[in-house]
Structure 1
């Protein structure tokens, strides 16, 4: 059926008989991603700068949520936040600073969303108020989802506190929670108002969580930046010991690669059937669920990377021997590349992990699209995967482990 796109409404007497019109407009997004240290030091103006000057003589209303794990490592964090806000007449706390249980548990109970939404309303927040979340990726996902669905969108500032959140999820445009036994089944595509990466939070992060975030750096290096992969190989021992300087460089470069993909990849809201930066993730998301979230996201991604790298070799896409090289780097960083749930079978004897392929396709709709490797630093998209080769790749991983 032909359509008309009306830039202006014509006079009534000259209107055509068209029944279908195209409504077309674009929305521009522009948000700051800042790298700093000690964001709540009273001399640090980063947070005040990304909020900006007050309007109509009213102070900006801020509602803070803090990850329980972060508060445990930094017991004076709430006091420092309150002091920072009190020292600036343009800012005001909307109410007491909320503590939220961290980790994947934050995303597994939909009651958390309703409780946050109710709190935002009770605090009198509006679309010119700010919800500021200090925490790991799971808490950022939860709070971002609650903020995006209250008043059809409260302004959300993310202050990520883990390597994974600072170099990947925290600088993205997605929010969500787990539901119906699947990862990130409910959520929104709503960019934050700003992201502030504070290196001081990484200092107090447990080693396991520092390491988990490195998997995303290996992933994006493999599909986008060979020189970055070679740098990771060069610095692997220092990174495994969590040396501050290389870890900060890893976070910054990885974050910039993700930002470039969002800005220039052509599909930031995933309207198509491709998730170009999700190499290794079809298996990782399923492994998280199968392990009862015993596996951290980054730990599951490391296994998924190893699996899809080996598969790329078996499928004739990636040079033989490069899979060994990739797995060697992951092991040097401290990752285990096998978990018993990789071999879990259903009543028919089929690997349950393989259901992750269909769930990955369903999450986007359309045809299955998986990113594999053609060479170091270059990804290639395929639309089918041979379950027999996946089984061979899993057997190889088990033997390597």
Structure 2
């Protein structure tokens, strides 16, 4: 059933200053309603292809298409199956061919309407069709609103690992309508919350403490949710401006992700077992416990992280992942394909405490393996 675009009730704009490729992130409840005119203004008299998945498209696809058509754009909707499986070569080819069939030209727009999978897939297709099309991110999941829609990372998965095929391609606009999060399942919302918490753990202990106090409000449709999204977007935008292509401290945004990506590969990217945000939650807890193991982080900080994540029903241990996830050796092997590997040496984001994360290069595989053996053995 199609859902109408909610009316706007105020917004906040975060600017991402990247010179000629600068763009805004519009944030607020119902902000998509007023953003349609701005989206149409990016390609006056042109066309827009809305790339979405079967679930989100059924809710919002036609309403957005109608609103953009009323604003003067010729529109088409391209729908792929929901789930991580759509970040694949076959779906990328399908989307690219559909864009060409719809006669989307360089001056037109690709609109990614969906969660992180759709943003990554549609953005990558936009980066390569006609050697580069402009695209707009309309993230509909909390995870996408606070993380993957901002910063220009696009891509698909490989049998060798997650996000290994892709390109940096910045959007022209991001529209983070927090009212669209009302349609998320509790599980998907919790998964996105792991990425919110991450920003406090990286370098903002005050924000983490605020999350500890305000988690219930963030899970509801109120100002706490909007504040969490805006704070996360500002943090992400600041890092992207300093280090757009992850040559330096943008890698800090991967706190917990080296463990997380290995777990996703171990579960075959099966969302019924583990979705990305859940993997990140386990990864955050593991990163802090690994930091304790290496004498870097106070044990009480690692415990505080795990308690908060578990308090919102997120997994924090390897045993929380359903089914077989393999051995310590197989998990380390999966990490060897991580994008942060340099000359074969593992790179982790570790922590000296909450809000004190840093890039640890050249971490020895034997130490990681021993840590994972211990974690796997714990009941």
TM-score by length of 2: 0.86
What does 1:238-387 align with in structure 2 at a 5 Å threshold?
A: 238-239=217-218, 242=220, 244-264=222-242, 267-271=243-247, 275-293=251-269, 294-340=273-319, 344-345=325-326, 350-360=328-338, 367-386=345-364, 387=366
Output one character per residue of 1:327-374: Cα deviation in whole Å (capped at 9) or x when no partner: 10111121122345697446xxx5311123322256666753321101
User: In structure 1, how many angstroms separate the alpha carbons of the residues matched to 2:177 and 2:250?
Assistant: 31
Q: 1:151–1:27: structure 2 CA closer, same or farther, 3 Å change rule? A: farther
1:267-312 Cα shifts (integer Å, max 9, x gaps): 3112469722101111100101111223111100111111110111
Matches within 5 A, 1:178-197: 178-197=157-176
- For residue 163 of structure 2, give the secondary structure of its aligned residue in structure 1: strand
1:110 equivalent in alignment to 2:89: yes
User: What is the rounded CA distance, in whole Å, between the counterparts of 1:237 and 1:99 in structure 2?
Assistant: 34
Residue 47 of structure 1, aligned match among 36, 39, 53: 36
Q: Render the CA deviation track for 1:12-69: whole Å, top value 9, x for unaligned.
A: xxxxxxxxxxxxxx9742012111333554xx2x2322442666xxx12111122212
Q: What's the CA shift for 1:180?
A: 2.7
| 1:128-159 deviation per Cα after TM superposition (whole angstroms, max 9, x unaligned) | 10011210101111111111100111111110
The question of whether the paired residues in 2 share the 8 Å contact of 1:279 and 1:370 is answered with yes
Structure 2 unpaired stretches of 5+: 1-17
What is the aligned counterpart of 1:32 among 20, 24, 29?
24
Select between 162-171 and 180-189 the one with higher mean Cα deviation. 180-189
Q: Is the 8 A contact 1:66 1:134 kept in 2?
A: yes
- Map 1:114-263 to 2 at 5 A: 114-239=93-218, 242=220, 244-263=222-241
Gaps of 5+ in 1: 1-25
Q: Per the alignment, in what secondary structure is the counterpart of residue 71 of structure 2?
A: coil
Is the partner of 2:352 in helix, strand or coil? strand
Residue pair 2:156, 2:165 contacting (<8 A) in 1 also: yes
Tell whether the 8 Å contact from 2:23 to 2:172 is kept in structure 1 after alignment: yes
CA contact (8 A) 1:172 1:191 kept: yes
Q: TM-score, normalised by structure 1?
A: 0.81
User: What SS does structure 1 have at the residue aligned with 2:184?
Assistant: coil
| Aligned counterparts of 2:141 and 2:32: Cα–Cα separation in 1 | 17
Secondary structure of 1:177's counterpart equals strand
Q: 2:55 aligns with which of 69, 80, 88?
A: 69
> In 2 relative to 1, CA 69–166 (structure 1 residues): closer, same or farther, beyond 3 Å?
same
Decide whether aligned partners of structure 1 residues 188 and 53 sit closer, same or farther in structure 2, where only a CA change above 3 A counts: closer
1:172 and 1:258 in contact (8 A); partners too: yes
Q: Does 1:100 align with 2:80?
A: yes
Q: CA deviation at 1:179?
A: 1.2
Residue aligned with 1:275, SS: helix
- Does 1:81 find its partner at 2:70? no
How far apart, in 2, do the equivalents of 1:116 and 1:297 lie? 23
Q: Is the 8 A contact 2:141 2:189 kept in 1?
A: yes
Alpha-carbon distance change, 308 to 193 in structure 1, aligned in 2, over 3 angstroms: same
Query: What is the RMSD computed on CA atoms of the aligned residues?
Result: 2.6
Alpha-carbon distance in structure 1 between the residues aligned to 2:287 and 2:62? 46
The alignment of Structure 1 onto Structure 2 pairs a total of residues equal to 356
- Asked if the contact 1:279/1:305 (under 8 Å) is kept, the reply is yes
Distance of 2:297 and 2:114 partners within structure 1: 38
By how many angstroms is 1:178 displaced? 0.5
Deviation at 1:384, TM superposition (A): 3.4
More helix by share: 2
Q: In terms of mean alpha carbon deviation, does 304-313 or 98-107 score higher?
A: 98-107
SS in 2 for 1:220: helix
